[in-house]
Structure 1
Amino acid sequence: MFPGVPRDVQERVLPGPEGERRFLLYTPATLDPDRPAPLVLEFHGSGATPAEQMRYSALHRIADREGFILAAPRAAIPMRMFDSTPEGAAWNVPGVPLILDSGDDTPGPDDVAFVRRVVDAVAAERNVDRRRVYAAGFSGGGRFCSYLAYAAPDLLAAVGTVAGLRLPSALRHVRPAPLIAFHGTADPLNPYWGGAGDRWDLSVPETADLVARTMGAHPTGAPEAVSDAVSRLVYATPGGEVGLVQYTVRGGGHAWPGTPYPIHTAVLGPVTREMDAGALIWEFFTDHRAAG
């Protein structure tokens, strides 16, 4: 484990059609086992690991304070982005190539099915409120969360994506789970203004507009200044249902805003301290429940 990750995080192993898959599970000691609790799934970026993501987002600290279960699944496509994380992996997002092309044309794992198995496994041993299951991810994990919002809106009540908002073109006929998104204008990996080929084509504003349209949502006004460098744009339906909240960090890099453990800032750009993405994601989640 990394410094900053709770010692009582537990690793779970799940059998599946592609072999064994793993995830980390954290349950705050203060949770009442007789009371159904929300479950938040968090997804690491390409080339990273669940422990690194848990440390990076610090969502476990919010879990302690707010009372939810946290699970961090591990991707299955090996990927080494940085020498500091040689055991890193990447998620399979259908139709989206990886930032590092392995040259392997073998079909990737069914990560959506894996996520469903993770939720079922956690619910089998913890008292999970199935109407309050959420997903949050960074970078490649954020792109995967964007896909999950469309591929599993029956499973997820809401989704948070940091540096990874995309519209799955093959699923644009589906109404997704509500989303909250964050992106820096100086992101060198997933450029805010797009233009990085098939992996990252459209700009974030174009993507946000297209995602909102699939919900029947439109901007409620002009972008609102949250701080000197941060603005927020809210998209809602004519009935007032908020479908998407987009935060833009002027000059922000490829980073999780407010992280207590910034990583690779020399390569990925600066981290804003003007907001805490984890706290805002959880605040957004508390406003949403699944229908079933």
Structure 2
Amino acid sequence: MSFARALVAAALPLLAPILTVACSAKSESTAAPVATADAGTTTPKSADEVPAVRLAADITACPDAYQSKAPKSGVNRGFSVAGQSREFVLLLPPESFTGPRPVLVGFNGTGETGPIFQVRAQLKEFADAGFIVLVPSSAANGTVWPVWDGMRTEKDMDAPNKDLELFDTLLACNAAHFEIDKNRIYIAGHSAGGIFTNYVAQRRSNVIAGAIPASGMFSSTSPTPAKDLEKMLVIVTWGGDNDKYSGSVGGMTVPEANFVSEASLATKFYAAQKNVGQSNCRGKNLNHVWLPINDWFIKVLLAHPKGFPGSEGLELPPVENNPKITCTTDVFDYKAQDVTCGASKTAGCQESCQLFADCAVENGTVYGAMKPQLAELGLTATSCGDCITQCEAKADTTVMSCIKAESASAQCGPGINGAQPLMDAINKCCDGKRTSSPYCKTVCDSIAKNSIAITYFTACQ
């Protein structure tokens, strides 16, 4: 063998890993980042077996203003996506951290911006631990709750989403400028940001390794039809039994958002996904807060890169120095109040009131959001009240016969989707009768006072 051939033969084993990574990087899409665990063909037995691999992205993935310059540490503005000029915070890790870095993308809550949220949630702690932290500001794109576009009615669920496009572009552009580890991409958000975290997690499970939806609605965030998610870790969090929110934004008002019932819904959904490692952390009456356990979040996220461990073998370390927070892999079961409506001398009134009781009063999510309207219709948190009496005074035969027929097959459940039988019954039976039917007028006049509920009760619009 010649000296040159011998030299090449000796060098090939050393060059093989480099050539493999280079070829892999060229084959990746630059339009939308795609992350799959580069851990060989076998299931990794530990996080250390999932290597840090740079997410390949081209500079053309950036908006024009960011193709010739890299984003700076701090607040970046003029990041144009989907016809909107957006801003985001970039926090870089200390220079002592080298190689492809984990990334955390955070989403702010109602009434705040990305810069405010990153301070409130102390996300610099993630950067200090070696993460690249990206925190964009919301732009009031949502229709159901105009902060992030994370909650939608069924007919609009899969329409184009400017905020999802922002997430894709933000990740791809920063990957073109900085070394981002494609096996360690995580998202997190609180309140309205938690809603959008649920939305993104269900549509980018091929990209992200983990998500922290904190005190966020899960209802109305799922694609239609629902999709099987790829391997990732999800940590659902809420502040405890008193985690509720009341407020207004963009002309929409919620009397009370119950994040306790929504946490139950989220843990059950993610636990049912065969590829998802579901875990959850709850506070002990800490109210509506981002749980102050970033050190624990960091430890757990880094222990679960893309593809490891999925839903099997998920073990959580103890939460140290904070007895008011408990974390577990068990699902959280929210118990609703049972409400039974008595008999009525008017056909359809018992069925109508029971349908409101089953789908709204017993539904932790809907009851809080519609509490004033349910009270106007005679319902309380624990009983039918004078609902039947009110119904009997307004009943008309055609509509009540329709309500009775619809209620016969109604199966109510938790969350906004669990109230669909009630919405379907009112929308069908009161269609075109908004003012002509005394029953429909009473119901719709009340619902129309609720800017969120009216979105779902189309017959009352």
TM-score (norm 1): 0.66
- 2-side partners of 1:10 and 1:206: how far apart? 35
Q: 1:90 aligns with which of 147, 172, 177?
A: 147
CA 121–210 in structure 1, closer or farther in 2 if over 3 Å, else same: same
Q: 1:197 to 1:253 in 2, by over 3 A?
A: closer
Residues 246 and 201 of structure 1: CA distance in aligned 2, closer, same or farther (over 3 Å): closer
Instruction: Kindly report which structure 2 residues correspond to 1:1-292, keeping only aligned pairs within 5 A, or say none.
Output: 8-32=73-97, 35-64=99-128, 66-77=129-140, 90-95=147-152, 109-164=161-216, 166=218, 168-170=221-223, 172-175=226-229, 177-183=232-238, 184-189=240-245, 202-213=261-272, 215-216=273-274, 243-258=277-292, 276=293, 278-291=294-307
C-alpha separation in 2, matches of 1:200 and 1:110:
25
Structure number with larger C-alpha Rg: 2
Q: CA deviation at 1:12?
A: 4.5
Superposition CA RMSD, Å: 3.2
Greater CA drift, 66-75 or 201-210:
201-210
Q: Could you list the runs of 5+ residues in structure 2 that have no partner in the other structure?
A: 1-71, 247-253, 308-461
Tell me, yes or no, if the aligned pair for 2:118 and 2:135 is still in contact at 8 Å: yes
SS at match of 1:289: coil
Counterpart-to-counterpart distance in 1, 2:94 and 2:266:
40
- Deviation, 1:249, is 1.7
Give, in whole Å, the separation in 2 of the partners of 1:76 and 1:69. Answer: 22
- Measured in 2, the distance between the counterparts of 1:109 and 1:210 equals 23
Residue 162 of structure 1 deviates from its aligned partner by: 1.4
The aligned amino acid for 1:249 is G
- Give the Å deviation of 1:54: 0.7
SS in 1 for 2:291: coil
Residue 121 (structure 1) shift: 1.3
- Deviations 1:53-84, CA, capped at 9 Å, x for gaps: 111111212321x21111101111189xxxxx
Q: Identity of counterpart residues, as a percentage?
A: 21
Q: Is the CA contact 2:93–2:131 (under 8 Å) kept in the aligned structure 1? A: yes
TM-score, normalised with respect to structure 2: 0.43
Shift of 1:197: 8.6
Is the 1:188–1:254 Cα contact (8 Å) retained in structure 2? yes
- Conserved 8 A contact 1:40-1:69: yes
Distance 2:118 2:191 in 1: 14
Task: Output one character per residue of 1:199-242: Cα deviation in whole Å (capped at 9) or x when no partner.
Answer: 979542243113311x13xxxxxxxxxxxxxxxxxxxx7xxxx6
Gaps of 5+ in 1: 1-6, 80-88, 98-106, 217-236, 259-275
Q: Once the 2 structures are TM-superposed, how far is the Cα of residue 139 of structure 1 from its aligned partner?
A: 0.4
| The structure with more strand, counted as a fraction of residues | 1
For residues 96 and 45 of structure 1, the distance between their equivalents in structure 2, rounded to whole angstroms, comes to 20
Post-superposition shift, 1:19?
A: 2.4
**Aligned amino acid, residue 188 of structure 1:** K
Q: What SS does the corresponding residue of 1:178 show, helix, strand or coil?
A: strand
Residues 145/31 of structure 1: CA separation in 2 closer, same or farther (3 Å cut):
farther
Distance 1:12 1:166, change over 3 A: same
Amino acid at match of 2:127: A
TM-superposed CA distance for 1:288, in Å, is 2.2
CA offset at residue 144 of structure 1? 0.6
Q: 1:71 to 1:142 in 2, by over 3 A?
A: same
Amino acid at match of 1:133: I
Q: Deviations over 1:109-155 (max 9, x none)?
A: 52111101000111111111111111011100011101111011122
If each structure's helix is expressed as a fraction of its own residues, which one has the higher value? 2
User: Equivalents in 2 of 1:146, 1:17: separation in Å?
Assistant: 21
